[in-house]
């Protein structure tokens, strides 16, 4: 994944916040997120805020490009709505 995809994720932030189920996605990212990361997300109140926290955590990681690729793969695995968002990001 290149930096253009990071920009694409940022451009689709509103769609992610409106449609993403963060707990389903973090279940697919267990190898990419620390226990502390997961706790921080799950302790955040409200689904929309949890999505924002997950994206913020991904963008703060040292290996952000690799993690964002895993994030898109996780979206693919959740359901068709999430896969559609991932496809939109990839095509941006």
Give the pLDDT band (50/70/90) at residue 40: very high
DSSP 15-40: HHHHH--HHHHHHTTTTTS-HHHHHH
CA–CA dist 34, 69 (Å, integer): 17
Per-residue pLDDT of 61-80, as tens digits, reads: 888 888 999 999 999 999 99
Give the chain's mean pLDDT.
93
Count CB neighbours of 17 within 10 A: 16
Give the pLDDT band (50/70/90) at residue 5: confident
pLDDT exceeding 70 applies to what percent of the chain?
A: 99
Show the domains of the chain with their CATH numbers: 3-91 (1.10.533.10)
CA dihedral 3, 40, 18, 5 (to 10 degrees): 10
pLDDT value at residue 37: 96
pLDDT value at residue 15: 95
pLDDT value at residue 1: 55
CA–CA dist 8, 90 (Å, integer): 7
Give the pLDDT band (50/70/90) at residue 4: confident
Nearest to 53 by CA among 22, 88, 86, 84: 22
């Amino acid at each position: 994944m290149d930096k253009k995809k990071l920009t694409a994720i940022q451009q689709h932030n509103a769609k992610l916040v409106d449609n993403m189920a963060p707990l389903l996605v973090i279940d697919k990212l267990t190898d990419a997120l620390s226990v502390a990361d997961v706790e921080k997300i799950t302790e955040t109140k409200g689904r929309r805020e949890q999505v924002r926290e997950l994206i913020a955590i991904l963008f703060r990681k040292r290996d952000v490009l690799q993690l964002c690729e895993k994030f898109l793969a996780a979206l693919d695995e959740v359901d068709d709505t999430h896969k559609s968002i991932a496809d939109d990001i990839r095509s941006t």
